[in-house]
């Protein structure tokens, strides 16, 4: 018998929705991808902790690390303690470092598990920062702590730097200093202001093309210290333009600096690539995506198909996930983490829908209802009976009979 429930539409009116009933894709295990693919992973809050959620952070460590093991089992790497983990939106630096430590410890038990960890300046209150030197010292403090654990760095964009930098030269100074000290090639991170308004004008200018010139120049000065750059601008043309300008030497394998797509609107076509140029790194993107947390099985299956040259199958699997991703990442984009955690709850990866910082409250019931529909249409509800039960619980909390 088909599963159905009442869901509100965009006008708030209820309508009966019947699930498609399509079986979720089952990725093949042990397939070697021909792209590097990191999932920025969420954290699972501890709902039983006696804290003030807006002011304090409590993590369910066992469930959080279990989810990372799940991602590794699908062949995906973990981008740890990033914005998907609510870095700067509920997850503080001491808790982030503990998360990195636990994740790296768990990865040692998983052959081939990849972890790259967010390194930033978020232990500083941006309003207290008055100089670029303070930003440098803050980056160095987090670098030292993560590298002491054996971690690979993702150099996160800094709210403090965006606040105090007066020109592109200030960015060049900071990144030259950080890259010169890195023990292994790092991933740079350019997060657009749609993800974080405090990062407006990053690289010293609101002009994206001029900002790109600065970022490319910094990379070109240190190609052996840069694995790649993740850009999250939600603009595929900007990503392609920058991808074609990255150095063809250096990186982690000497074959060039990689573009890690952070475009949660256009990831399928960017990963598939356009074959431009003679350098593979110019014609395709690797991936470091928050949406891969929510669509992990589909991402794994699609990447497996791509690795054996079946581009048609890759798009067949990943294409239906794009409308869901665009909905989860719709403006205000910074609230996308709520949709990611909601998907984990629907699919039984955690027992509750409670988030660090109380962020479960940032989206409306209408938003969740549309997310549910799109997840079903993309064949991403792993346990439809459970998903319907939990969606009905959500409806009931809002006074709606499902």
Residue 126 confidence (pLDDT) = 86
Among residues 400, 373, 370, 395, which one has the least CA distance to residue 384?
Answer: 373
Residue 1 above 90 pLDDT?
no
Joined tokens for residue 298: 């589909």
The tens digit of pLDDT for each residue in 118-160 reads: 999 999 998 999 999 999 999 999 999 999 999 999 999 999 9
DSSP at 33: P
- Alpha helices, DSSP H only, in 201-320? 208-221, 236-243, 267-272, 280-283, 291-294, 296-307, 311-318
Please state, rounded to an integer, the average pLDDT across all residues of the chain. Answer: 96
Q: Provide the pLDDT confidence category of residue 402 given band limits of 50, 70 and 90.
A: low
Number of Cβ atoms within 10 Å of the Cβ of 174: 22
Q: Is the pTM of this model over 0.75?
A: yes
Q: What are 285-324's pLDDT values in tens digits?
A: 999 999 999 999 999 999 999 999 999 999 999 999 999 9
Q: Are 203 and 175 in contact (CB under 8 A)?
A: no
CB of 151 closer than 8 Å to CB of 115: yes
């Amino acid at each position: 018998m088909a599963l159905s429930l009442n869901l509100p539409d965009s006008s708030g009116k209820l309508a009966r929705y019947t699930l498609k009933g399509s079986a979720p894709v089952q990725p093949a295990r042990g397939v070697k991808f021909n792209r590097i693919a990191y999932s920025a992973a969420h954290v699972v809050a501890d709902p039983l902790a006696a804290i003030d959620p807006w002011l304090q952070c409590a993590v369910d460590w066992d469930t959080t690390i279990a989810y990372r093991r799940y991602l590794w089992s699908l062949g995906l790497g973990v981008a740890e303690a990033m914005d998907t983990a609510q870095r700067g939106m509920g997850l503080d630096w001491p808790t982030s470092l503990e998360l990195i430590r636990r994740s790296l410890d768990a990865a040692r038990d998983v052959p081939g598990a990849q972890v790259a960890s967010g390194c930033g300046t978020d232990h500083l209150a941006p309003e207290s920062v008055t100089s670029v030197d303070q930003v440098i010292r803050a980056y160095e403090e987090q670098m030292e702590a993560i590298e002491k654990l054996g971690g690979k760095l993702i150099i996160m964009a800094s709210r403090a730097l965006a606040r105090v930098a007066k020109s592109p030269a200030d960015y060049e100074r900071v990144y030259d200093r950080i890259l010169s000290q890195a023990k292994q090639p790092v991933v740079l991170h350019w997060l657009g202001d749609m993800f974080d308004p405090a990062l407006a004008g990053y690289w010293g200018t609101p002009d994206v093309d001029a900002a790109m010139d600065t970022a490319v120049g910094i990379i070109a000065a240190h190609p052996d210290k840069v694995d790649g750059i993740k850009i999250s601008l939600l603009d595929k043309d900007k990503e392609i333009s920058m991808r074609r300008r990255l150095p063809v030497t250096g990186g982690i394998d000497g074959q060039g600096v990689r573009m890690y797509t952070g475009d949660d609107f256009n990831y399928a076509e960017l990963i598939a690539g356009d074959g431009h140029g003679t350098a593979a790194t110019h014609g395709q993107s690797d991936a470091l995506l928050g949406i891969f947390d929510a669509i992990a099985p589909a991402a794994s299956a699609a990447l497996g198909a791509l690795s054996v040259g079946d581009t048609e199958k890759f798009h067949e699997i990943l294409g239906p996930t794009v409308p869901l991703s665009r909905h989860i990442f719709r403006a205000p984009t910074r609230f996308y983490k709520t949709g990611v955690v909601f998907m984990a709850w629907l699919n039984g990866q955690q027992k509750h829908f409670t988030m660090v910082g109380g962020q479960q409250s940032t989206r409306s019931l209408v938003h969740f209802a549309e997310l549910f529909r799109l997840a079903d249409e993309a064949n991403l509800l792993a346990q439809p009976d459970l998903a319907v039960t939990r969606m009905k619980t959500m409806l009931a909390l809002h006074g709606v009979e499902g």
